[in-house]
């Protein structure tokens, strides 16, 4: 491992990935780690209030990568979740560092790609982390779908799926909305006739049909797409 290290930290206040450490806290732990190993911190980069979904949209990360590659040194992060949140980005970052003869270290995951076992463990850990996120998203989606199928309302009463309405007698349940079901039938007919999303909206307005709160269908092509998707008309 090179004796120089570039530190990178990312903080997302939403805490969606299960971590809430500030950039300052991450840097403090990384500095302690570097000091214990006799490494020299040559630069620190950060992305505040930044999603980890797309590595290309984080200027701090891109600067850290460029610096570590130019120095052929170590890029250190507190955890892989701070570096990348999908396997593709994680592997591309690893390859970019490898091409520059630079290494990657993750304090929390105890990863050091300066050796063969570290490289192997990095790929396995990144793959497992992505699998866990995808399974969590699937479980959440399945649970919401089961609640809706059983008639339970999810979220604000104005956000129930189009074609349903809040039960006047039990506000925690949803029931079919006859007026909206009629419009859904028209949307499906127009879709089967070969009309695209925006022409469907135009035809609904032409027929005098409105959305909730009397809004026109013009510009509501995304809603039409979601209605068709829920109806199995992909």
Per-residue pLDDT at 218 exceeds 90: yes
Where is average pLDDT lowest: 16-30, 95-109, 199-213?
16-30
CATH 3.40.50.12280 fits 4-137, yes or no: no
Q: Which of 53-62, 99-108, 157-166 has the largest mean confidence?
A: 99-108
Per-residue pLDDT at 23 exceeds 60: yes
Per-residue pLDDT at 120 exceeds 70: no
Higher pLDDT, 146 or 5: 5
Higher pLDDT, 157 or 37: 37
On whether the CB atoms of residues 20 and 78 are closer than 8 A, the answer is: no
Per-residue pLDDT at 136 exceeds 60: no
Angle (CA) 52 55 57, round 5°: 95
Q: Which two tokens stand for residue 201?
A: 């909206």
Nearest by Cα to 87 from 135, 128, 139, 138: 128
Q: Please, where in the chain does CATH 3.40.50.1390 lie?
A: 4-137
The residues pairing with 8 across neighbouring beta strands, listed in sequence order, are 45, 77
Rama region for 232: left / alpha / beta (φ>0; ψ in -120 to 50; rest): left
């Amino acid at each position: 491992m090179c004796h120089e290290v570039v530190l990178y930290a990312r903080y997302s206040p939403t805490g969606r990935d299960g971590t809430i450490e500030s950039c300052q806290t991450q840097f403090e732990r990384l500095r302690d780690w570097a000091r214990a190993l006799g490494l020299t911190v040559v630069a620190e980069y950060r992305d505040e209030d930044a999603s980890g979904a797309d590595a290309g949209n984080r200027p701090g990360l891109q600067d850290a990568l460029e610096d570590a590659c130019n120095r052929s040194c170590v890029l250190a992060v507190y955890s892989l979740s701070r570096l990348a949140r999908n396997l593709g980005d994680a592997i591309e970052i690893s390859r970019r560092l490898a091409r520059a003869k630079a290494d990657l270290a993750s304090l929390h995951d105890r990863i050091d790609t300066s050796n063969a076992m570290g490289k192997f463990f990095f790929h396995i850990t990144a793959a497992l982390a992505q699998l866990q996120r995808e399974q969590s998203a699937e479980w959440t989606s399945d649970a919401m779908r089961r609640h809706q199928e059983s008639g339970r309302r999810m979220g604000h009463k104005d956000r129930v799926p189009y074609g349903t309405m809040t039960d006047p007698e039990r506000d925690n349940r949803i029931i079919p909305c006859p007026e909206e079901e009629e419009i859904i039938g028209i949307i499906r007919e127009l879709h089967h006739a070969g009309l695209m999303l925006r022409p469907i909206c135009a035809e609904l307005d032409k027929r005098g049909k409105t959305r909730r709160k009397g809004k026109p269908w013009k510009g509501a092509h995304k809603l039409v797409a979601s209605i068709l998707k829920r109806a199995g008309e992909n």
